[in-house]
Structure 1
Amino acid sequence: MKTIAIITSNFPPTNIVGALRPYRLSKFLCKAGWRVIILTHPPDTGHDLDYSLLDEIASDVQIHYVSTPRVKKIWNRGLVARFIGTGRDILDGWVKPDLGIAHVNSFYRAFIKLAKVSQIDVLLTTSPPHSIHLAGLLIKRKFDIPWIVDLRDPWDYYPTKGHHELTFLEGYLEKRVMTEASAVISTTGTYSKILMEKHSFIDKNKFHIVTNSYDRNKTSLAVEKDPDHFIVCYTGIFYPGKDPYGFFRALKSWFEVMPSSDRSYYMTVLRVHLIGSGDYITRQVISSLGLDGVIVYFDRMPHEQAIAMTLAADMVLISTGFGDRTRPGWLPSKLFEYLGCRIPILALTREGETAEVIRRTKSGYVLLSEDHDSIHKILRTEISRKFKCDSQSDNTNFTFEGTDKYEEENVMSGFADIIGNVISRPPRIRT
């Protein structure tokens, strides 16, 4: 039996996107006969926790918790935080590559302890944060075992802030990680191409693409639709810095231009469900637009429950923003859940892979600008379709062609192939 050690900052029961990818890989590898050992942080009570996720893997995966360094706890809870803000607020812009650098030594020491009692055949480090790969670099240098870097997003990409130039130190660290890793995985073709062009001296065969995925067992559940409302659903957070609120501005303009009788009807039947999106800025934007009557906020919830609410929707929303802070290669993880649920998508996004996937799979509408007239027309069409007000209501072009390639088993099978190929390579001769 082969053994893989996975170092990840987040793992269930933590219920955030960064925890689902190593979770799904762990499930697949266990079924394929691997021994999986997870090194991760203890569940943070500041995050939503979903213990049901552990029910599927608890008996198969060994989870070793690596505690948060005490210095961070002191900073965040002490006098400094009381007077000038939390350590994260202050240090986020200063510490490179990110605040996770404080955990590198803890993960390194935890692996050394683990290696004394277990034969590890391959190591995988998965971000965010990117600093977690520095622990992998140290381990690789000490033990010289195959090491896979699941980079997901490029090092110079942060969802909340957009693209930024790497400092000299960050550039050096990224180069070392790319050079010494046995394989480097990104979530999109665009991201992988960026890395290959930046590090052209490295064999291109080292770079791989593994997208995010969906679980067919969860997205194929039978869920009843609301017979009285047309529901648009959005799951996850908004990134205010990217101005993702074009859909809501279009709603406001739609209600403003229609006759009062129509306004009363549409405001009665339309509901927008925001799951885990009730942050202060989003609420302020929506209130300022006068849309509180059609928006329903839901707190973060167990993953399976969020999928059930997606299945109950009539349309799902992707809103990434159009500016330079939104990278064309960004494929939001919610896209794959939407594809699995086979609910028509309304995407407001830049030209890029998100738009390409939706077009290729024929899974919804793509708008490359904040086109209010088009959004108005789409809403009228789809609401009429649901309530049989349109003679063409049974005709739809949403076929979701080829979405099976993003199903968890298929995606993780490709991930496992990369891991297997790395292990099967002959050992490198030191010079």
Structure 2
Amino acid sequence: MQHLEGSWTIEVITRAESSCVGRSIITHSIQDWYPRTLVEVFHKLRLTKIWNFGVPFNGEQAFFWVIPAILKAHQLIQDERPDLVVVFMMPYSVGWIGLVLKWLTGIPVVFNFDDSPTCTDMSGNSFHSLFHYKMAVWMENFYIRNSDATIYVSQRNLDRVKKKQPLADQNKLHLVRYGADPEDFKYSQIHTDDEHFKIAYIGFMGGWFEFYHSDDEKQKLWRKISRFLQNIGEYRLLELDLKTSSPMFLGQAVKQAITDHPEWDKRIKIDLYGSLYPKYVTDRALENQNLSDIVFIHDAVPNKEAMQIACSCDLLFMTLPARPDGAESGGRISAKTYEYLMTDRPILAGVSPGENYDYLQGKNGVWIVHPKDVSGMTEVITQLVSEKFAGNPRICDRTSIHPELSYANRAGQFANVLDTVLSQKSLNS
């Protein structure tokens, strides 16, 4: 939005208590009506699953923000007569704010979907029930048909959803990807520590509970019953391998590289920044895999520091849950993809065929392997470590694609969508 404020007057309604999104952007912080006491009672009674099952949009807290946001937005529309409303999702329940405002005032509405709620690489793979899945599909289509434009960040997701829309609505769908700011990385190309090889992963990493219990523990009857009760009624479109969203396969690759080159012992490490899991969970999972001396967990860091880490490590790693063999290619693309590509660091991507795979394919200094391909990871790590310790660390010049990745370019694409909506409005008036 900071790249749009020069040509647009922007006012933001948000749940955040304080938010600075631009020098001339006016922000209105609106509190939700979330019944915290009631939710805590459900949680203490271990009835959270029932709460999430019964509350619309899988129990999203944002659902209780919809009405106060509508009231504030309707007031602003009456007072200031804006040209259009843009609704950013996720969470998906906030889409109703845009719909109601359009019905009440006739103002054009643009939905920025982020990822599709029915993308099987993400939460769109698992639902509380078949009914919840059907409702998610209906909701996505309903939003599109009642919008003036809908934006996706993934070409595959856009194409998949577009095929299901009536011909009259298909031209409403637009692609505007995430990006990164070249200026944020311009002075961060710093590489130090010639004695160690550092692999970094920046962002949330899952799959820890898949390794929390030993194989023997998982086979105990009471644990099988507990797992059954937790998943009762759940509807899944396919079985993603959540193990591969963890650092364990990468850790095995590092161990294999050290076994092949004992002189590298204690000189290669994996640093993860931004874990949301309790320390006791990550510690036990790493101990069960004998990776405590290779993988190190760190709290989330400010964005500027994250960029410095990305630019100073020896290898950037990213992974997504592996999809089953023969499954349709996935539609998710990680936001860190664009930030990683802004650096001159080698990138190792453990991803199945899909949007992320497509976008990284052919980019300089990027190695793509299957998320469970320990041998392939070992080969890449061995090559890069050998080069560094020989005094010739790999530098990957990707400056030619920086303009494409830049927020300024993405903002221009976003503005084109808004201009198209306003042009159509003028033709219809």
Q: TM-score, normalised by structure 1?
A: 0.81
Root mean square deviation of aligned Cα = 2.8
Does 2:4 match 1:29?
Answer: yes
Alignment of 1:85-124 (within 5 A): 90-98=50-58, 99=60, 100-124=62-86
Equivalent position of 1:418 in the other structure: 417
Q: Say which of 204, 217, 234 aligns to 2:201.
A: 234
Alignment of 1:237-252 (within 5 A): 237-240=204-207, 242-245=242-245, 247-252=247-252
CA separation in 1, counterparts of 2:54 and 2:284?
Answer: 29
Q: 1:118 corresponds to which letter in structure 2?
A: E
Equivalent position of 2:376 in the other structure: 374
The unaligned stretches of length 5 or more in structure 1 are: 1-25, 44-50
Does 2:65 match 1:63?
Answer: no
Q: 2:77 corresponds to which letter in structure 1?
A: A
8 Å contact kept, 2:189–2:344 = no
CA separation in 1, counterparts of 2:417 and 2:409?
Answer: 13
Q: Say which of 163, 166, 172 aligns to 1:206.
A: 172
8 Å contact kept, 1:271–1:296 = yes
CA separation in 1, counterparts of 2:287 and 2:384?
Answer: 25
Q: 1:257 to 1:411 in 2, by over 3 A?
A: closer
Q: 1:171 to 1:326 in 2, by over 3 A?
A: closer
Equivalent position of 2:286 in the other structure: 286
Aligned residue for 1:425, secondary structure, equals helix
Q: Deviations over 1:156-175 (max 9, x none)?
A: 23765452465444443333
> Kindly, what percent of the aligned residue pairs are identical?
16
CA separation in 1, counterparts of 2:388 and 2:112?
Answer: 42
CA separation in 1, counterparts of 2:179 and 2:70?
Answer: 29
Equivalent position of 2:125 in the other structure: 163
Shift in Å, 1:335 = 0.6
Q: 1:120 to 1:246 in 2, by over 3 A?
A: closer
Alignment of 1:11-50 (within 5 A): 26-30=1-5, 32-43=6-17
Shift in Å, 1:40 = 0.7
CA separation in 1, counterparts of 2:354 and 2:322?
Answer: 11
CA separation in 2, counterparts of 1:253 and 1:173?
Answer: 42
8 Å contact kept, 2:189–2:343 = no
Equivalent position of 2:347 in the other structure: 345
Shift in Å, 1:192 = 0.6
Alignment of 1:116-135 (within 5 A): 116-135=78-97
Does 2:245 match 1:271?
Answer: no
Q: Deviations over 1:184-226 (max 9, x none)?
A: 1000110110111111343322110011101111122234323
Shift in Å, 1:287 = 2.5
Q: Deviations over 1:136-160 (max 9, x none)?
A: 1111111111110101211223765
Shift in Å, 1:428 = 7.4
8 Å contact kept, 2:254–2:381 = no
Q: Deviations over 1:29-69 (max 9, x none)?
A: 11x321111111034xxxxxxx8x83x72x31111111120
CA separation in 2, counterparts of 1:337 and 1:33?
Answer: 26
8 Å contact kept, 1:146–1:422 = yes
Equivalent position of 1:323 in the other structure: 323
CA separation in 1, counterparts of 2:298 and 2:125?
Answer: 30
Question: How many residue pairs align between the two structures?
Answer: 385
Equivalent position of 1:182 in the other structure: 148
Aligned residue for 1:317, secondary structure, equals strand
The unaligned stretches of length 5 or more in structure 2 are: 208-240
CA separation in 2, counterparts of 1:122 and 1:419?
Answer: 8
Q: 1:299 to 1:336 in 2, by over 3 A?
A: same
8 Å contact kept, 1:362–1:401 = no
**Which one is further off, 312-321 or 157-166?**
157-166
Shift in Å, 1:427 = 4.8
CA separation in 2, counterparts of 1:425 and 1:364?
Answer: 42
Q: 1:383 to 1:101 in 2, by over 3 A?
A: same
Equivalent position of 2:226 in the other structure: none
Does 2:37 match 1:74?
Answer: yes
Aligned residue for 1:29, secondary structure, equals coil
CA separation in 2, counterparts of 1:327 and 1:129?
Answer: 24
**Which one is further off, 273-282 or 329-338?**
273-282
**Which one is further off, 143-152 or 380-389?**
380-389
Aligned residue for 2:191, secondary structure, equals coil
CA separation in 1, counterparts of 2:259 and 2:139?
Answer: 60
CA separation in 1, counterparts of 2:328 and 2:294?
Answer: 27
